[in-house]
Amino acid sequence: MTKSNADAILITRRGERVGSGLAAKLRAYWALIKSRQTLLLLATGVAGYLSARPDGVTGATISLMLFSLFATISGTTALNMVIDRDIDALMERTAWRPLPAGTLAPAAAALFGGGLVVLGLGIAFWLDWLFGLVIAAGTVIDLIVYTLWLKRRSAWAIIFGGVSGGMPILAGRALVVGQVDGLGFLLAMSVLLWIPSHIVTFSIKYADDYRQAGVPTWPSVYGFNSARQLIAKADALRAATLVAVGWLLDISPYSLALLTLSGVVTLALSLVAMVRPSGKINYQLFKFASVHMLVSMVLITWGALA
């Protein structure tokens, strides 16, 4: 295959060719931003913003906030893909991605990601200096502390990945209240505590992949039992944190009840995965964790505005 042909073909997770030309390029750039993860983090930013019950909110402010968050998160994710392209090429799970597959050149992906980050942060600082500062802090922590410094050195890197993941919800609330308050910290903590169910479950499922790439994970360093215990403890703390947030925000009783119920279900699933471990339950926990986070954001938003 020539380089020009390789650049024109998008490789899927199953290794199939799905087209060439402009459409394939667009799909490749879209793959760079990990759209599901990006949209979930975007939803947390919206929840943080609306949890503060903003007065006189305008469509322009909401639109600019959404775009700045989307651009910065997407750009940061794309830059992560550029940095991690060598280890992605070593893992079967990620070898299909545009950079290791040769669909996009690293320089083009870096320009794409960097441009989005600059655009997103520019709009964020124009909206509000604190809003921009919090988002910028998340970008720095994610790219420099998590990806460049710790990811290939320590299983504890996920903590800093979780801290950066909590910045959108913290920034959204700060945009309204004009400060980083206690409720903002609790909201950010709920995202951090989501990370074990989101990432550690994955590192259990793909332990061989990570070992082959030389990436230290919680299961490979501390063992699978410790990893499952970490997930269960984090889920218990996350459920408690979200209920505390709902109570402090004085959300509607129905929303608080559903928030509590969803947390209990998540915790129950993680406890089952710890007591009776299986690949199927582990994967279900991974999928349900993201659903629980999204549902929680909706319930907090709906309950605060009701």
Q: 306: helix, coil or strand?
A: coil
In angstroms, the first-to-last Cα distance of the chain is 58
pLDDT at 57: 76
**Which letter, b or e, does each residue of 30-45 get, where b requires 16 or more Cβ atoms within 10 Å of its Cβ?**
ebbbbeeebebbbbbb
User: Residue 22 to residues 115, 150, 227: CA-CA distances in angstroms?
Assistant: 20, 36, 43
220-221-224-227 Cα dihedral, nearest 10 degrees: -120
pLDDT at 16: 42
What is the DSSP-derived secondary structure letter of residue 138?
H
Who contacts 44 (Cβ-Cβ below 8 Å, separation ≥6)? 166, 168, 169, 172, 187, 191, 293, 297
For 197, counting Cβ atoms within 10 Å of its Cβ (0-12 exposed, 13-18 middle, 19+ buried), the class is: buried
Q: In the CATH hierarchy, which top-level class contains the domain 32-177?
A: mainly alpha
List, run by run, the mean pLDDT of 10-residue segments along the chain (306 residues): 39 46 89 95 95 85 95 98 97 94 96 98 97 98 97 96 97 96 97 94 94 95 96 94 95 94 92 91 89 94 87
291-168-34-234 Cα dihedral, nearest 10 degrees: -50
User: Residue 56 to residues 164, 250, 257, 262, 306: CA-CA distances in angstroms?
Assistant: 29, 21, 29, 32, 16
pLDDT at 20: 57
Label residue 81 left, alpha or beta by phi (over 0 means left) and psi (-120 to 50 means alpha).
Answer: alpha
H, E, C per residue of 19-73: CCCHHHHHHHHHHHCCHHHHHHHHHHHHHHHHHCCCCCCCHHHHHHHHHHHHHHH
Comma-separated ranges of CATH 1.10.357.140 domains in the chain = 32-177
What is the third-level CATH fold of 193-306? Four Helix Bundle (Hemerythrin (Met), subunit A) (1.20.120)
Give yes or no for a contact between 212 and 220, defined as CB atoms under 8 angstroms apart: no
d(CA 214, CA 291): 30
d(CA 215, CA 273): 24
User: Residue 68 to residues 52, 71, 123, 152, 192: CA-CA distances in angstroms?
Assistant: 19, 5, 6, 29, 21
pLDDT at 306: 77
pTM of the model: 0.90
Q: Amino acid identity of 112? A: F
Taking residue 55's Cβ as centre, other Cβ atoms within 10 Å add up to: 6
Comma-separated ranges of CATH 1.20.120 domains in the chain = 193-306
